[in-house]
A and B are shown apart, each in its own frame.
Chain A
Amino acid sequence: MVKVKVLSRNEADFTRERKSDVVKVYRNVDPSVHPFEKGREYVRALNAVKLDRVFAKPLVGAMDGHRDSVYAAAVLRSSLIHYASGACDGELRMWNLAARKTLWNVKAHDGFVKGVCSDAIGQHVATCGTDKTIKFWRAFPYSNDEYEDWADETIDELEDEHVQAQSKSTTNAHMRKSHLSNVSSKLRIKLQQKQMMRRLSQGNSASSSSSSSSSSSDNNDSNDGGGDPPIEPLVTWLGDSPFTSVDANMDTSNPLVVSGGAQVDLWDLMRSEPVHSFAWGADSINCVRFNPVEKQLLGSTASDRSIVFYDTRMRTPVRKLIMHMAANEMCWNPMEAFHFSVGSEDHNAYTFDMRKLKSALNVHMDHVAAVMSVDYSPTGKELVTGSYDRTVRIFDVQQGRSREVYHTKRMQRVFSVRFSLDNQFIMSGSDDANVRLWKSVAWRKLGVITDRERRNFNYKAKLQKRFAYVPEVKRIKTFRRQPRDVLSAKRTKHIIRTSRKEKERRRRLHSKPGAVPHVAERRKKIVKEQS
């Protein structure tokens, strides 16, 4: 009797009894039977890289409205769509990024608006200017029917969500807790906003006759029919000298505003005089920033090439670092509290660990002009820089070279760059009086992404990472078109660098051993550390 083997499958083996049952897949996963798997994945990686370049459309839109260079900007900590920007003509504008329109604008200062910041709850905006004043503004001064409706709906949704979150029996206690806190914080904010708007609308109806000349005509979307209500600062502080920078701390229980000018001043909302003033050296401060995590810590950069750290609990500055060239702006890593970055006049950005200031953690160099502004992504993994060379660059914190460069024909010198709080967008304010909205990942798809899509994106990203060192993939991934002047400047810089290196090498060669020591690039630009 001859045995004949036939293909036969039992239906029961392939029928799920429950929904959660996993269907058995007959597949041989032995790598030896898939010899071309690596090649296949390489091709996929290559295609993925190419597709990324194809879909790279980073500019979402440019928002015009300012009449002069946009010099300072801040992201509101309460909202993803609101963005405040200050111009050189003293104008302050609040933007709705989703609609790409101005919510309101006001002539905040006589002269430059040198600094803009949001408070911890994201309900207020502080500005400082060359007119020796610091002003504290409401972020949402107007009531709006539509806005109110929208707020109502959102609040309803959030409430539902909150209820669901409470009742949801998730296994992960931490996730549930975080979700709950997230929803509740949103709800709280929305409720506050709603209350504020109601209050404002009542107040406006009472004093509708006194309209302010400072409000602009193009904020129709945020006004009642009865005319523009006056926008007045909640608080105004007068200083002895022009202010160059302002920041608010993240401590909601003890809100403080810090300003930089001739010295670093700490302001309390309830007092008209600075609570405390710090000074170390007699030069003007370029930038002051509170640490978002260590809320009492703040740092400043000054035009005397120094970076100074202060503790609000102490009477004197803590530490001082002197570099070869002055830093224009600094920012703290929101996820690693002891790391900070500065944008320097020497065309580079430097990342430091504030515990070890003798050496930078990393030198980010690609710009060909002074770095005017720098900001961390909320994940703390990336850094965005705006430069005088009219480009915006995105750096990986651990990399020395930029992963992306954004530029347009019309964009002029960039004075302010900010990451959005959801890590999706970058806002830049430039000399051409425009605020531009960019995607943080140029090829990222906007809108709703299904789970399957996300998995596919993740897979492609992983493949790219895996084959990142293969020359062809690397070439396509790193190539970026750049303006001609930037390229030529880059070439010149390269020549200068190489010739300097060569000179140093020769000098070392013809000197006594050890007389010309090797100095790492990270240490080169640091002059001194004082404490």
Chain B
Amino acid sequence: FQATVTMYNKKGAKVKKKAHQRAHEDGIGDEEEIDLSTLLDDVSETKKKPRKSSQVQNSGAHVLAEAYGEGEHNISSSGQIGDTLTAADLLADLHTMKKDKKVKLMRRTERTSLVELPQEQVDREREERQISKEVVDQQLKEFEKPVRQLQSTPAKSFPLPGHRPTSVVASNLGLQALNHEIYGSYKGAEGLSGIVTKHLREAGLVTGHENLIQTLDGMVGKQDFKAVEEKLIDIDEEELTSIMNDMACRNQAGLAKLRSVMSSTQSKLQRVNKIKSKLYRKIKRKQKDRKEARRLEELEAIDPAAAARMAREKERDQRIRARTTLKHQKKASNMKQKKALARFNPAYREALQGAAERDRQLRSKLLEEPEESSSESSEESDDGPVNEDPLAAVLTTKDALKKELQNKEEQGLLALPFMKRAAQQRQQDLMKDVTDLEEAITLEKSKEFSATEFINTSDTVPDLGTIAEAQGEDTKNTRKRKASSNADQSPSIKPVTTPTPKKKPKKGVSFADESSTTVNSTPSTTTTQEPPSSETAEPSNKKRKNKKKNKQAQAEVENNAVTPAATPATQAKGSATQPKPQAQGNKQTTAKPVLQAAENEDEQPVNPDDVEFEMEIDMNNNENTLEHSDDEDNDVQGDLNDNEYLLGRGLAGDNVKDFDEFTARKEAEIGKDVAPIDMSDALPGWGEWGGKDPKLNIRHKEKVKAKEDERAAEIKKRAAKRKDANKPNVIINENVDTMADRLMVTVLPKAAKNERQHMKRLGTTFDPTLNSELQSRKVVQNKISSLAGVAIHPITIDDKPAKKQKTSRSKTTSKSKTTSKRK
């Protein structure tokens, strides 16, 4: 088949040339647009015009063949239609047939339409060719310049310019005498030379030097040895030069080959990289989609029913794929949709919150466990005996903690009341944790005992659902952990059998150090696998390692799920109770946290979607709140100069973690402006006719739902318009009236001497209703008034201002004054 394809290509190239010329003459398109396969068809059509009906049939054949399986439609899948030859025929005959037959066949292929290649294949090949051509062209473009430079650089060729190779003969000083001796005894053509020439001639080897030998003979005969020597030197040089040239040519060729190899390797590497690139895949996928759509359209034109069926099948495939991979749930749009749903549907929100809580617990465990195990290892190495009783250790810690609390006296900033309060609260938490731990260990002890018995006796099949769930959890969590910056510990470090209490004292507390010792001092029999030291030593390589390990863990869990060899109890116990090969030990431990988490959740499978969603919420929380655990890391022993530590202490009492409450408050704030739902026309009966909690039928429920939706939409609409629309941690009150600012005079006006005067002026009313008419007229009278149509002439010396009339009051006062004076 390949051979035929090659042949097509060869032929196609010729035809293409012709077609191109034709197209050029017609002024249509350019070379790139011409399709090889179509050109082949064109040639056959030009030479022998096929019937139109058959052409139509042929064109639609591949589509139909694809739509219907073989036998469903009257179309052979072999693709032999009419006079056409198949590739198989050609292949079968090509090797065996004689040359004449081959030529005949070739001619026949030229005449007839060669092979009805499946259109799909043609398309695919063409696209691949185009893509590869584009990609390679693009890649080669980058190398064009260096290659050109490389080509233009002067290659080292021999003989080097200016170098004249010294003749072997000439360089040998003693050779002259020797030559003389030789030439001196030279007999000519009849002598030795004659015999040698004869033999060489017979062997068919020497042909070119006959004349030379003759001339040399002649020279020797003339006793002109010097000339002979010169001649020989010339010949020698000539020979050497030719040899050098050959070598140079060979070198050049080798170099060129090397270059071409380098170039091709580079281009190949680039191509490979390109093919691996996302963009390339995207382009390819889009092309594929387009092609499929085109094909579907073609099919629809021919057979709409088949097209519909194909579309349905495709949709079904997609659905199945989505369900199996759950890929669609990992998209941001899906997350957004879920968030939006959760915002307006309380039930859904609650469900999600529950799932989120579970996830948070799981995550915290996953993140905490490795730390503990790492500290455990160090503790183990430091403290020596590891077979200490955990319960005793916890009790010791508790005592130490109590003592610490009693002795603790804060000073300076830490002695401030709110700081003290925060510290007190935290200490209480710690105490509670220690107590919980104590209980947990007690419980575990009893459980351990029962579990050992159970292992010995039971051979039950593990719960596949649980394991699968756990697997899902594991993958999710590991993925999340990879994303989170804190995930620098792999789950493989986790101790195996210690049952994880709901809360554990955090690392780094001075008085909790002992507790951590106790916590970590789990029986050494339980931890068979030491965490690899490189994990703690090389944090940069952790991600990669974690990734690898997670994969291994996943594979392990899958194996477990498929071949249920161990009971859940044994898995929980780990390799301590059931020794396993070393290679599997690590893998086994990696899967543990998840299984334990599943157990902690009262065997309830956690919906991975919910977990994912809540993780996102939790990340938001992390962004916007001060994590309680963060300040616990630097505890009482923390540096007082450390602002973070102080802030943590200061804010420890505030429940800033509760972000949901804030969100709810914000929603309520937005909802305030939207009118509450009026259910009177949605519920059965008017007013109270329907009773207090009327029973709703479907219609009423729909009405209620519609109303709720309407309100929710309104709230959403308003929320989008708010100033704090894109600020999840801020509520901006938009009802604040800014009028006050506009009324405030910030600078004292020039007209007023002081504030009092200004305020007095502002306070004086000109309102005609609150003044007498005369007074108001007087007050509002303009100081300068001009009447239209009355000219105002410049002031003259005669224009004296009118004297003020004395009022009755002033008259009386003046009179009284005068009278008083008189008196």
Contacts and interface: CB of A to CB of B under 8 A. Distances in A.
Given A42-B743, A422-B788, A459 B796 contact: no
Contact of A422 (B744, B780, B791): B791
Given A335-B794, A422-B792, A461 B767 contact: no
Contacts of B779: 462
B802 interface: yes
Contacts of A38: 762-763, 765
B770 interface: yes
Contacts of B795: 293, 334-337, 380
B745 A37 contact: no
B784 interface: yes
A291 B564 CA distance: 119
A381 B743 CA distance: 30
B634 to A, nearest CB: 47
A41 interface: yes
Interface residues of B, number: 39
Interface in A456-495: 458-459, 461-463, 466-472
A182 B793 CA distance: 10
Contacts of A378: 786, 791-794
20 contacts: A29-B770, A37-B770, A38-B765, A172-B802, A334-B793, A336-B795, A378-B793, A380-B795, A422-B786, A422-B792, A458-B782, A459-B768, A461-B780, A461-B782, A466-B761, A466-B762, A468-B749, A469-B745, A470-B745, A472-B742
Interface of B: 741-746, 749, 751, 758, 761-771, 776-777, 779-782, 784, 786-796, 802
Contacts, number: 103
Given A41-B766, A469-B749, A458 B788 contact: no
A196 interface: no
A31 interface: yes
Nearest to B770: A29
A459 B780 contact: yes
Given A37-B770, A337-B795, A458-B782, A424 B788 contact: yes
A469 B758 CA distance: 10
Contacts of B788: 422, 424, 446
B762 A455 contact: no
B765 A458 contact: no
B128 to A, nearest CB: 60
A85 to B, nearest CB: 19
A421 B789 CA distance: 8
B765 A31 contact: yes
A9 interface: no
Interface residues of A, number: 44
B780 A458 contact: yes
A423 interface: yes
Contacts of A463: 766
Contacts of A469: 745, 749, 751, 758
Nearest to B777: A455
A515 B790 CA distance: 55
Contacts of A470: 742-743, 745
Contacts of B769: 27
A421 B767 contact: no
Contacts of B746: 471
B765 A37 contact: yes
Which secondary structure characterizes the binding site on chain B?
loop
B745 A466 contact: no
Contacts of A41: 765-767
Contact of A381 (B744, B781, B784): B784
Interface in A412-443: 421-424
A421 B766 contact: no
Contacts of A182: 790
Q: Which 9 A-B pairs have the closest CB atoms?
A: A378-B792, A334-B794, A421-B791, A292-B794, A423-B786, A469-B749, A458-B780, A472-B742, A462-B780
A73 interface: no
A379 B744 contact: no
- A interface secondary structure, majority: loop
A58 B749 CA distance: 29
A114 to B, nearest CB: 24
Nearest to B747: A469
B98 to A, nearest CB: 92
Most buried by A among B746, B771, B784: B784
A368 interface: no
B409 to A, nearest CB: 54
A279 B665 CA distance: 86
Interface of A: 27, 29, 31, 34, 37-38, 40-42, 77, 80, 172, 174-175, 182, 250, 292-293, 334-337, 378-381, 421-424, 446, 455, 458-459, 461-463, 466-472
A422 B792 CA distance: 6
A461 B785 CA distance: 12
Contacts of B780: 455, 458-459, 461-462
Contacts of A421: 791-793
Nearest to B744: A471
| Most A Cβ at <10 Å: residue of B764, B782, B786 | B786
Nearest to A378: B792
Most chain A beta carbons < 10 A, residue from B742, B744, B771, B792: B792
Nearest to A461: B782
B19 to A, nearest CB: 62
Given A422-B786, A471-B741, 10 more contacts: A80-B789, A335-B794, A379-B792, A381-B784, A421-B793, A422-B789, A455-B777, A462-B779, A469-B751, A471-B746
B794 A29 contact: no
Contacts of B744: 471
Contacts of A77: 793
B787 A422 contact: yes
Contacts of B784: 379, 381
A416 B751 CA distance: 34
A90 B763 CA distance: 59
B770 A80 contact: no
Contacts of B763: 31, 38
A525 B792 CA distance: 33
Nearest to A78: B791
Nearest to A23: B773
A195 B153 CA distance: 111
A459 B773 CA distance: 12
Given A38-B765, A459-B768, A472 B777 contact: no
Contacts of B751: 469
Contacts of B742: 470-472
Nearest to A186: B791
Nearest to B742: A472
The listed residue with most A CB atoms (<10 A of its CB), out of B763, B769, B784, B791, is: B791
Contacts of A172: 802
A293 B794 contact: yes
B754 to A, nearest CB: 14
Contacts of A37: 765, 767, 770
Contacts of A40: 767
B766 A471 contact: no
A472 B761 contact: no
Contacts of B794: 250, 292-293, 334-335, 378
Contacts of A471: 741-746
A383 to B, nearest CB: 14
Contacts of A462: 766, 779-780
Contacts of B768: 455, 459
B792 to A, nearest CB: 4
A31 B762 CA distance: 13
Contacts of A42: 743
A80 B769 CA distance: 39
A254 B28 CA distance: 99
A422, A424, A469, A470, most chain B CB atoms within 10 A: A469
B756 to A, nearest CB: 15
Given A334-B795, A422-B786, A462-B779, A34 B770 contact: yes
Contacts of B782: 458, 461
A425 to B, nearest CB: 9
A461 B770 CA distance: 18
